[in-house]
Structure 1
Amino acid sequence: MTQIARTRIGTSAIDIAPLALGGNVFGWTADRAASFEVLDAFVAGGGDFVDTADGYSHWVPGHTGGESETIIGEWLAARGTRDRVVLATKVSTHPEFAGLAAANVRAAADASLARLGTDRIDLYYAHFDDAETPLEETVAAFSELVDAGKVRAIGVSNYTAERVAEWFRIARDGGYHLPVALQPHYNLVEREFETNGLRAVAESEALSVFPYFSLAKGFLAGKYREAADATAPGASARAEGAIAYLDDRGRAVLGALDEVAAAHGAELASVSLAWLRQQPTVGAPIASARSTEQLPALLAALSLELSQAELDRLAAASA
């Protein structure tokens, strides 16, 4: 197996292989058996960082939220792999635990621990900012979870740069534990992260960035080159979102990806993830797989190194 360079999560003591397996599909488009197969193959291929949320997948008819965590917990118990895997989960979107009031954060963390069948969450995110709750209350609640040993490190997701900076100010003033990770929307065709202040605050606070929708809902894997591909057999539940990128700029990006992929004998998904992994502040892209057939292209991104010219070629195509 190719030696994989590991990365540290911010200023924490946690290190990972630089690819996060997204758990949003577990219990949704991947049933329990398929999810177990994907998790098995991910770990066998050198991955060890799994990202989920307590709200996954409450949007599915008949679901209540927590389905993904439950499947991951059952897999950890069945395989005995808890100490080999770094677990990230999030709070604020579970229908029973909405928002970031202190009592809710505490209760949601306990519920996540129970579903995951573990005594600690390695990385715990505030999933979405909660304007109804004073930020001081949320910051203190997360820090208390670290003091209690239930959480090892803190992350923030879907916050503005101003609110991330405010979190740090409050934490420093109050002597609370500081966040070490940031999870924004960022990929080769969604690049606001570079200019909206989030990358600047990540750099100034030494945050590890873990972008979600790293493959732009499948578009950057080259799966959708015509509008009709969104309705083809086997298209994902997010295919329509991917088709939105199919304009002149999107086609230029696919053309550049085709060139770089051909030069490396690699899949487009591998190149897209490698580009993202090699961007400033990025610790690991997050990508999900509904089946083991989708995993090799993701895992290949762990060791694929693009030249500066290739990084620039892709960036220019998506500018």
Structure 2
Amino acid sequence: MADITKKIGDLDVFPLSLGGNVFGWTADKDTSFAVLDAYTGGGGNFIDTADVYSAWVEGNDGGESETIIGEWTASRGNRGDVVIATKGGRHPDHDGLSAPVLKAAVDDSLRRLRTDYIDLYYTHFDDPSVPVEEIMTTLDELVAAGKIRQIAVSNIEPDRLAASLAFSEREGTARYAAIQPEYNLVARDSYEGPRRDLAEQYGLVAVPYYGLASGFLTGKYRPGASVDSARAGKAAKHLETERGNKVLEALDAVAEEQGVPVATVALAWLSAQPTVVAPIASARTLDQLPPLLEVPRTELTAGQVDRLTKASA
């Protein structure tokens, strides 16, 4: 089989990143281990998490997902075979991006992940109270110390992103290799436009989150479907829009043509977009994983991409 890996700086990644937000939340340790085993067994190597996962759960402190991933790599002896991306800036103990907070957050992530380096480190949410010069200089120091291989950015306004990239270019510091935006067939404006323009200008690649729109783009939410959780409500709201229903109709048609699940098609459309190297999607059960592993092996025709793009306009 041809090599399907993509590049993020000097990192070789599988074109579908496994989201770790469910580990320690809706997936317990044993289930998380099983999902991680199945993902890597299917050729995957790119795992996404954050230090704040899952502090919102009663009884959790944050760091549960990183801890599970660290225990899994230690038990499997495969740290060198996987690319681990984590994020900092929102953990209850390390909120913000000042130099001391960021350095402490990275050290705690390293401890929980049971590793001495993080492959890809994102600033999770921007901290406008901290000058971009301080953030970029701190990240550069962490790269120089060998604690981080590549740096990246998630939720940030275009003007701050532009200033960060310009500073790195001007001062010769480590620079962002990737951006993690919210991006999917029913949420395009959050990335398409100034953020994507900057990514293209500076050579950043995109690793989108919410690629399945909280489950809506799996096709399981249909008119009349029962909605029994806040997450389901967030997904089902798209049924109230003309665009949401047009997207579902187009996804159904393309999925039938391709002979793959609707979720696979939604993520394959994302993979076909400029700058995107690896959408993120999570699986809280083993049966949710196969449609994700099909994404890198599903190549939509130009006509199918165009049909989905027009339906989601």
Give TM-score scaled by structure 1 length: 0.95
Q: 2:246 aligns with which of 226, 248, 252?
A: 252
Alpha-carbon RMSD: 1.2
TM superposition shift of 1:160: 1.8
Q: Distance in 2 between matches of 1:163 and 1:210?
A: 19
TM-score (norm 2): 0.97
CA contact (8 A) 1:227 1:243 kept: no
Q: In the comparison of the two structures, how many residue pairs are matched?
A: 312
State the match for 1:241 in structure 2: 234
Is residue 4–residue 17 contact of structure 1 (8 Å, CA) maintained in 2? no
SS at match of 1:64: coil
Distance in 1 of aligned mates of 2:80 and 2:108:
20
- 1:74 maps to which of 71, 74, 77: 71
Tell me by how many angstroms 1:81 deviates: 1.2
Offset from partner CA, 1:89-147 (integer Å, 9 cap, x none):
01111000000000011100000000000010000001101011122111111110000
Residues 1:202 and 2:199 are matched in the alignment: yes
CA contact (8 A) 1:142 1:154 kept: yes
* Aligned amino acid, residue 111 of structure 1: D
Q: 287, 290, 293: which is aligned to 1:296?
A: 290
| CA deviation string 1:221-268 (max 9, x = no partner) | 00111354322xxxx662111011112211110000000000011000
- Pick from 112, 117, 139: which aligns with 1:115? 112
227 and 166 in structure 1: CA distance in 2 versus 1, 3 angstrom threshold: farther
**2-structure distance, mates of 1:104, 1:171:** 21
Rounded Cα–Cα distance in structure 2 between residues aligned with 1:237 and 1:76:
32
- Offset, 1:173: 2.7
SS at match of 1:230: coil
2:7 maps to 8
Query: What's the CA shift string for 1:190-230, capped at 9, x where partnerless?
Result: 00145430111110111110000000000000011135432
The answer to whether the Cα contact below 8 Å between 2:136 and 2:173 also exists between their aligned partners in 1 is yes
Q: What CA distance in whole angstroms lies between the structure 1 residues aligned with 2:244 and 2:67?
A: 37
* Aligned equivalent of 1:56: 53
Q: Aligned equivalents of 1:16 and 1:286: distance in 2? A: 12
> What letter corresponds to residue 23 of structure 1 in structure 2?
G
Contiguous gaps of at least 5 residues in structure 1: none
Q: Which runs of 4+ in 1 moved over 6 A?
A: none
Question: Per the alignment, do residues 237 and 48 of structure 1 end up closer, same or farther by CA in structure 2, a change over 3 Å counting?
Answer: farther
Aligned partner of 2:82 among 82, 85, 88: 85
Shift of 1:3: 4.3
Matched residues in 1 for 2:165 and 2:103: separation? 20
Identity over aligned residues, as a percent?
53
